Structure 1
Amino acid sequence: MTATEQVQAANTPGAPSHKRDKRRAIRPAVYIVKKLLALVLTLFVASVAVFFSRFLVPGDPARFLLRGRSPKPEALEEITRQFGLDKPAWEQYLNWLGGILHGDWGRSLTYRQDVSDVLLGRLPTTLQLVALAAVFITVLGLFAGIVASLNKGFSDRFILITLTAAGAVPPFVAAIALVALFSVGLGWFPSFGSGDGGWDRIWHLTLPALALGITYIAMVARVTRSSMNEQLLREHVEVATSRGLTRGSVVARHVLRNALGPILTVSGVLVAGLLVSSAIIERTFGLSGIGQLLVQSIDRLDFGVVQAIVMVVVAAFVLVNTVVDLVQPLIDPRIAAGTESR
C-alpha cells in the first residue's frame, strides 16, 4: 500500500470509529490503574503521617520506652542505639517501612513479643465483629430503604421517624439498651465474651454487631430511600412500567440497579469506618479485639502497637473504598467511561 493509499484509508469513516472503540476498550483498564495508584499513594502518605506523628510527642523517645524510669546514661544510650533512635528520622522511617513490608512490625514493650503476634491474636475477633455488623448494615439498611421508598404514606413516615431516632443513638447507648433488653430482660443473647467459634461466636457477636451498626443502618436506609425515589421518577422506569412489566421486575432491573451507585459508596465508607468505632463496643462487651488493644496501647505509650493498629485501620479503610470504586463500573460502566473522559 502506497503512502497515498494509507492516508486515504486513515480518512475513511471507519478509522475514527475504530479508534473510538479502542479507547473505549482500554478505559476500564485505565480506571483500574488509576484507582490502584491512588491506593498505593494513600497508603504511603498514611505511613509517613503515622510514623512521624510520634515525633510530635514532647520529650526523649528513649525515655518513653522506659515508661518513666530513670536509667543510667549508659543504659539510656544503649536503648537509643538498640531501637535506632540515634539515626536520622528519614532513616528510621525507611527501616520501619522496610520492616512492615517484610512482616516485621517491631516488638511490643507492653507484651514483650512481636507486634505482629499481638495483632494476630486480636484481629480475628474484630474482623468477625465488623463483618457481622457489615451484614446487618447492608441487609437491614437496604431492606428498610426499599420498603420506605415503595410504600408511601404511613409506612414511609414510620420508617423515616424510626431511622432518624436510631441514627441519633450513640453506639455505647445502643449497647446498654440491647444488653438490658435481649440479654438481661429476655435472656436471648449473652452479654459478655466472644464465644468459642462457629455459631457460638455469631451468637455472642450478634448484640455487639447490632450496637456497632445501628447508626449506620439508618444512614444506609436513608440513602437507599433517597436514591430509589430519584430513580422511580426517571423516564425509563415509566417506559418499563407501561410495557406491562411486573413491579418486582421494574424495581430489580430498572430502579435498584441504577440506585446502587450511591448506596455502595456510602456503605463502603461506613463499613470501612467500623474498625474505628469498634473500640467502644469491644470494651462494653468484653471482646478482645484490636479496638480495645488500641486504647490500652495508647494508655501505656506502646508506640509500636499503636502505629501498627492505625496502619491496619487505614489500610482496611482505603482497601474497602477502593474495592467499592472498582465494583461500581461493573454495575454502571458509564462510571469508568466518565472518569476517563474527564
Structure 2
Amino acid sequence: MSFARFAARRLGEMAATLLAASFVVFGAMYMAPGDPASFLLAGRSASPEALASVKAQYHLDEPFLLRYGRWLGDVLQGDFGRSITYRTDVSRLLADRLPTTLLLVAMALLVVVAAGLFLGRLAAVRGGATDTAVLVTTTFAVGTPSFVAAVLLQGLFAVKLGWFPTSGAGEGFTDKLWHLALPATALALYLIGMLARVTRSAMAEALDSDHVTVARSRGVPERHVIRRHVFRNSLGTVLTTGGLIVSTLLVCTVLVETAFSVGGIGQLLELSTSTKDFPTVQAISLIIVALFMAVNLVVDLLLPLVDPRVTLGTRGAAA
C-alpha cells in the first residue's frame, strides 16, 4: 500500500471515528438522570413558561437527532455553544486555556522523552548495578500516580523551599515555563518510568540479536553498534509507546492542572463537570478525543519510516 493511500485511509477512519465519538459525547448529556432542563436551571424552581423558554433556547423541545445535527453543524463551524457557568462562548474559553494545556503537555513530553530514553539506554548498555538502580528508580516512578507526585512536589519545592510558584500559569512565555515546571514534572514522573522500562527491554532484546553479534565480530566500535544497530532498531517499540504516553498526558493533565490551579482545559473540564456545564464538557471531550486520534495517526505514519520492518497498515515488526 502506498503512503498516500494509507494516509488517506487513516484520515477517513479518523473522520468516521470522530463522527461516532461526537454522537456519544452529545448523547451523554441526555443519559444523565433527570431532565437536562433541570440541570440548566441549576436546580432552581421555575414556572412552566420559564422552563419552556430554557428548552427553546437550548433546542431541548426538538427531536434528539435534530438537536444533534444542529450541534454538529455548529461544531464544524467552530461554534461549541455558550457556557452555562461562564456565560460566554465555549470557543473563547478554549482559545484562552488550550495553549496553556498544550504547553504543559509539551514540557512534560520533553521531560519524559529525555529522561526515559536516557535511563532506559543506560540500563540496557551498562547492565549490572546500573541496571538494578534504574529498575528500582523506575519502579518508584511507575508506582507514583500523577496527583500524588503533584502533592509531594508542591509541598516540597513550592511550599517548603519556595523555589517554584504554588499555583497559576504565569504571564509571558518565560514566566509560564517557570510556573509550569513543577506541574510538568508531576505529569511526567510516572511516564518516565514506563518509557525507561520499555526502552531498556527493547534495547536488551536488540543486544541479543544476530546482527549485533555479527557487527561486533567484524570489529565495529561499540558506540556505533549501540547507536546504529541497537538503539535504532528499538525506536519502533519506543515510538509506539510514545502514542500511549501522549494520550496518558492528556488524561492526567486534568488532575495535575487542578492540583496546581494551572487554568488549562484540564482544570476547566473538572470545573465544568462539577457544575454540569454541558456545552463546555462536550467541547473539551471532543477535543481530547480528536487529539488522541491525531497522535495515533502521527505514530502510524512515522512508524514505517523509523522501522523499515513495519509495513503500512500494521503495527509491530515483521516476524
Q: Could you tell me the TM-score, scaled by structure 2's length? A: 0.94
Check whether the contact 2:258–2:270 (CA below 8 A) recurs between aligned residues: no
Which residue of structure 1 aligns with residue 114 of structure 2? 139
Which residue of structure 2 aligns with residue 220 of structure 1? 195
> For the residues of structure 1 that align with 2:167 and 2:213, how far apart are their CA atoms?
52
State yes or no: 1:121 paired with 2:67: no
Which residue of structure 1 aligns with residue 266 of structure 2? 291
> For the residues of structure 1 that align with 2:66 and 2:285, how far apart are their CA atoms?
21
Which residue of structure 1 aligns with residue 83 of structure 2? 108
> For the residues of structure 2 that align with 1:186 and 1:86, how far apart are their CA atoms?
57
Higher deviation after alignment, 87-96 or 27-36: 27-36
Which residue of structure 1 aligns with residue 294 of structure 2? 319
> For the residues of structure 1 that align with 2:313 and 2:218, how far apart are their CA atoms?
30
RMSD of aligned residue pairs (Cα, Å):
1.7
Higher deviation after alignment, 256-265 or 211-220: 256-265
Match of 2:284 among 309, 314, 318: 309
The 1:254/1:304 distance shift into structure 2, 3 A limit, reads same
SS in 2 for 1:273: helix
SS in 1 for 2:25: helix
> For the residues of structure 2 that align with 1:326 and 1:159, how far apart are their CA atoms?
32
Check whether the contact 1:31–1:336 (CA below 8 A) recurs between aligned residues: no
Shift of 1:337: 4.9
> For the residues of structure 2 that align with 1:232 and 1:75, how far apart are their CA atoms?
72
The 1:330/1:79 distance shift into structure 2, 3 A limit, reads same
Question: After the TM superposition, which residues 1-342 of structure 1 pair with which residues of structure 2 at under 5 Å, given as runs?
Answer: 26-337=1-312, 339=314
Shift of 1:44: 1.4
> For the residues of structure 2 that align with 1:87 and 1:108, how far apart are their CA atoms?
20
> For the residues of structure 2 that align with 1:225 and 1:133, how far apart are their CA atoms?
20
> For the residues of structure 2 that align with 1:74 and 1:181, how far apart are their CA atoms?
55
Shift of 1:185: 4.2
Q: What is the number of residues matched between the two proteins?
A: 316
Which residue of structure 2 aligns with residue 20 of structure 1? none
Higher deviation after alignment, 66-75 or 132-141: 66-75
Equivalent position amino acid for 1:77 in 2: A
For the pair shown, the structure with the greater C-alpha radius of gyration is 1
Deviation per residue, 1:153-182 (Å, 9 max, x gap) = 100001101100111012122122223333
> For the residues of structure 1 that align with 2:40 and 2:157, how far apart are their CA atoms?
44
The 1:190/1:95 distance shift into structure 2, 3 A limit, reads same
> For the residues of structure 2 that align with 1:338 and 1:303, how far apart are their CA atoms?
37
Check whether the contact 2:147–2:186 (CA below 8 A) recurs between aligned residues: yes
Identity %: 49
Higher deviation after alignment, 331-340 or 40-49: 331-340
The 1:211/1:338 distance shift into structure 2, 3 A limit, reads closer
Shift of 1:338: 6.7
> For the residues of structure 2 that align with 1:311 and 1:171, how far apart are their CA atoms?
23
Higher deviation after alignment, 162-171 or 241-250: 241-250
Check whether the contact 1:28–1:336 (CA below 8 A) recurs between aligned residues: no
Check whether the contact 1:273–1:317 (CA below 8 A) recurs between aligned residues: no
Equivalent position amino acid for 1:195 in 2: G
Shift of 1:186: 3.9
Check whether the contact 1:62–1:76 (CA below 8 A) recurs between aligned residues: yes
Q: Could you tell me the TM-score, scaled by structure 1's length? A: 0.88
